[in-house]
A and B are shown apart, each in its own frame.
Chain A
């Protein structure tokens, strides 16, 4: 499978996973967003050398992964590049710390903090559709232009990838034995993709407009989709209390 096919497949599978009918997927997106921010804030506030404190913080992502059956292997595959970057920075600490033990502890702390916060955001991403996240942003009064741009970027990425695939296939048909796009035509190739996608995007946008879409007209209709149910409240307050307990109770106990 080509890289472009993989990218399209990856985007579709993430969206498919987020759009499932599971109980965690149907929780109010604003509450999920709030729990994520709360968890990440408390996780990064753990002192630098407190590995024990971080071990307690692992409970939230692990519990969600296990209870709601989110694939841990897929998660690691998708975030491997990010994990590698965090690991590299951690190694830097090992080399420059005063003692090896201090460096090791700091490296471990940095790595665990990084991994946990990425896990938390991954849980949000894999259980919430982009439309729901955007509506959650609307609810907290993020300006409409920003929300629209986020939605359009996400939707147009598919158009762009398909256009890229089409152009790449045409290029390889003209140059069958060539490995990759020749460096001399990179600019033209990328520019052509950009302009063609821009034209395509305009066509799509015009079609939306003639069907009555106006980005700057306040659409309040989405609010009726998100009625707060008891389980949403349980999710929000439950996790907020649990995460706060995980962060602060061990300090008093030990």
Chain B
């Protein structure tokens, strides 16, 4: 789909440059703004992979034609739409400046046709949309095939539009479109199959490398925080409100003791027992889950909430200490 300079006039070529530079500026801004560090090495090697893949032309059965991978969808599924777009610009620039593949004036149009649709429509719309509610191999296949077909169709349509707008050909618009769209449908299907096969392999072996999956993990982290918040609210409600409806009957142990001795509490006397009882009475802020020397029900609620918070605090402190020790090791 690399357009040659001869297919465009300077006005259309310039306009496409403006659009592509706009896309690049936006992508650079988003990549720099992103919280994650810029994966320059991944961008380089994935770019090299797509660059090499574009060198391999495959035959389109029954047409006598051949096509090659566009790669925007594959790149963006691995790097995200913004980094993917920048990488595609790199690939197309090298092809243009080092191998004379795709014209230097047509570079803007090529970036738009091959990179913009592949990365922004393919990944940001189709891939993200399909992976929204979880990921599976079937979804990856579906996203890859739909993404490649749709983005190549859009790219081919724009090649036709740009050529016609440049007025460099006598081909009627419909005829040109009738040539371009079906052949790119076939190329899109083959590309979709190859993309799906590669992405499924990555999903099986190192799923964290996939762009959609990574954000899914983040989403899971967010939902984990949500679950924890709900649990905290439930715990406080239980401690503060449901504790008021607690049964006043003795618990299992007390009940057993009562059956044996006739009382729920065993009285023991002695210096050691008395000393410990005194310490406990002094330290206990809320003896028997109530304010000291008070029968108020608010004491029970307050005891429940304070107890829940204290337990959570102790657990959190324990986790922090363990994590610090692990880091030291």
Interface residues of A, Cβ cutoff 8 Å to B: 7, 14, 36-37, 40-41, 43-45, 48, 78-79, 81-82, 85-86, 89, 92-93, 96-98, 102-103, 106, 110-111, 113-114, 117-118, 120-122, 124-125, 130, 133, 143, 145-146, 148-157, 159-161, 164, 186-188, 190-195, 197-198, 200-202, 204-205, 215-216
Contacts and interface: CB of A to CB of B under 8 A. Distances in A.
A68 to B, nearest CB: 17
Which residue among B9, B49, B51 has the maximum number of chain A CB atoms within 10 Å of its CB? Answer: B49
The 8 closest A-B pairs by CB, nearest first: A187-B197, A152-B44, A191-B201, A114-B6, A153-B47, A117-B5, A113-B6, A201-B45
B18 to A, nearest CB: 15
Contacts of A97: 170
Contacts of A85: 4
B24 A152 contact: no
A84 B102 CA distance: 13
B21 to A, nearest CB: 10
A195 B206 contact: yes
A198 B86 contact: no
Given A117-B103, A187-B196, A191-B205, A149 B86 contact: yes
Nearest to A209: B41
B303 interface: no
Contacts of B87: 149, 153
A149 B43 contact: yes
Interface in B40-62: 40-49, 51-53, 55, 57
- The contact size tier of chain B is 35 or more
Contacts of B8: 44
Given A125-B100, A153-B90, A92 B4 contact: no
A186 B170 contact: no
A145 B98 contact: no
Interface stretch (B171-179, B215-223, B239-247, B274-282): B171-179
Given A124-B97, A125-B98, A133-B98, 7 more contacts: A113-B6, A117-B6, A118-B5, A156-B48, A201-B42, A201-B45, A205-B40
Nearest to A122: B100
A191 B202 contact: yes
Given A45-B9, A110-B6, A153 B44 contact: yes
B194 interface: yes
B198 interface: yes
B104 A146 contact: no
A93 B47 CA distance: 35
B98 A98 contact: no
A89 B44 contact: no
Contact of A40 (B105, B170, B205): B105
Contacts of A149: 40, 43-44, 47, 86-87, 89-90
Contacts of B194: 186-187, 190
Contact of B41 (A106, A152, A188, A194): A152
A156 B47 contact: yes
A187 B89 CA distance: 25
Interface string B65-105: 00000000000000000000011011101101111110111
Contacts of B51: 153, 157
B182 to A, nearest CB: 15
Contacts of B90: 146, 149-150, 152-153
A250 B96 CA distance: 30
B121 interface: no
Contacts of B167: 48
Contacts of B199: 191
A187 B175 contact: no
Contacts of A192: 201
B171 A93 contact: yes
Nearest to A106: B170
A118 B170 contact: no
B29 to A, nearest CB: 10
B99 A117 contact: no
B165 interface: no
B169 A155 contact: no
A215 B86 CA distance: 15
A155 B55 CA distance: 16
A144 B86 CA distance: 11
Contact of B40 (A79, A106, A152): A152
B13 interface: yes
Contacts of A155: 44
Given A118-B103, A191-B198, A93 B41 contact: no
A200 B51 CA distance: 17
A205 B94 CA distance: 20
B213 interface: no
Contacts of A216: 38
Contacts of B205: 191, 195
B286 interface: no
Contact of B24 (A37, A98, A146): A146
